Amino acid sequence: MVNGAQILETAVADPSLDASLRDAGQALALSFQTQAALASIETGMSATWQQIVDDTNAKDRAVKALCGE
């Protein structure tokens, strides 16, 4: 997740990237980072963990939709 966040942050730094893709990529990168941080303190069954997993998955789907997948 951390590597994915770094790749996204690098990609969205391109000024020629469409603003909607940039915003979605930044949101997904932040969600990846949050999920990685929470992985050390939350269990797979906690509501907090499930919430960040759901959030990350939703943001991932949004990026894929913008990319035409």
Domain encompassing residue 25: 19-67
Total tally of structural domains belonging to the chain = 1
Residue 5 lies in a domain: no
Calculate Rg over the CA atoms of the chain. Answer: 13
Residue 45 lies in a domain: yes
Q: How many alpha carbons lie under 13 Å from residue 1 in its C-beta half-sphere? A: 17
Residue 13 lies in a domain: no
Residue among 67, 65, 68, 59 at smallest CA distance from 29: 59
Would you place residue 2 in the very low, low, confident or very high pLDDT band (cuts 50, 70, 90)? Answer: low
Residue 49 lies in a domain: yes
Amino acid at 64: K
Residue 7 lies in a domain: no
1 pLDDT exceeds 70?
no
Residue 12 lies in a domain: no
Q: What pLDDT was estimated at residue 62? A: 96
DSSP annotation of 22:
H
**Tens digit of pLDDT for each residue in 14-52?**
989 899 999 999 999 999 999 999 999 998 889 999 999
DSSP annotation of 44:
T
